[in-house]
Amino acid sequence: MNASPLDNIRIVLSHTSHAGNIGAAARAMKTMGLRSLYLVNPVSFPDKEADIRAVSARDLLGRARVFNTIDEALEDTVFAAALTSRSRELEHETYDARVGAEILLKNAQHHPVALVFGAETSGLTAVEVSKCSVKIVIPTNPDYPSLNLASAVQVMAYELRMALMQAKPVKPKQTEPATLNEIELFYHHLEQIMIRVDFLNPQQPKKLMQRLRRLYARARLEKEELNILRGILKAVEKHLSSKP
């Protein structure tokens, strides 16, 4: 098998309730050439129902990795897309399934990326979405938008394959993207500084961190830029007076 950008795309299923959906998702992935399945806190896995629904995609289940937190599942990724149907006040950049798949594939040329799906009924939490780079919405019937989880995986996997068939080889990027975990450390550091200078009240944080996350998610930070931002924070920290 030749290396394909599809191999850089991991499907992350967070808090899946029904094991059958994990199996059906694995089958959906394999029919389109996706292979990496990451599970965050599944209710039941491994599970006989998952095996049954996977049919001949059980090898994906056997290689699936299970984690306790989404941060672990996003380790090493430079880009993540959150599948969601809901609109929130503070939107990440939002794309439909087709454009979203193209963007995901473009980002997967040289580095690992993730496509993240939430629990069947409740979807992704706001915190989970905030850790992703963009949102993807599959257009649905507004009167009945209740797409089955494995069906949503199927549609996205299909769009990724279509994008692959249409993609032209791209030039290697000159710059190294920051990983999402590194970016999380930056957010944490920034938050601490904002609290120390009384800009952020931890008792009443409002939506400050969400707004800043949205801004930097849009910018797609490079490793070097991230180092500069962290450097500024460290320098500021050193020069803060102990009492205002």
Which positions from 100 through 129 interact with its own copies, judged by CB under 8 A?
Answer: none
Q: Which of 148, 185, 192, 223 binds its own copies (CB under 8 A)?
A: 148
Q: Which of 21, 107, 133, 154 binds its own copies (CB under 8 A)?
A: 154
Answer for which of 12, 19, 64, 155 binds its own copies (CB under 8 A) is 155
Contact region with its own copies (CB under 8 A), list: 10-18, 39-47, 73-81, 149-157: 149-157
Bridge partners, 12 (sequence order)? 38, 116
Q: Which of 144, 143, 135 is nearest to 97 (CA)?
A: 135
User: Tokens 């989404």 correspond to what residue?
Assistant: 70
CA angle (87 as vertex; 82, 92 as ends), nearest 5: 50
Q: Which of 46, 109, 111, 162 binds its own copies (CB under 8 A)?
A: 162
Q: Does 185 bind its own copies (CB under 8 A)?
A: no
Rounded Cα distance between 21 and 87, Å, is 24
Number of residues that bind its own copies (CB under 8 A): 74
**CB neighbours of 195 closer than 8 A, spacing ≥ 6?**
201, 202
**CA-only gyration radius of the chain, Å:** 19
Note whether 129 and 91 are within 8 A (CB).
no
Q: Which of residues 15-34 bind its own copies (CB under 8 A)?
A: 24, 27-28, 30-33
Site for its own copies in 188-217 (CB under 8 A): 193-194, 196-199, 208, 211-212, 214-216
Interaction of residue 235 with its own copies, rule CB under 8 A: yes
Q: Which of 139, 201, 205, 223 binds its own copies (CB under 8 A)?
A: 139
Residues in CB range of 37: below 8 A, 6 or more apart: 10, 11, 13, 22, 25, 26, 29, 60, 61, 63, 64, 65
As measured in angstroms, the least distance from the Cβ of 231 to its own copies is 6
- Residue 3 is a binding residue for its own copies (CB under 8 A): no
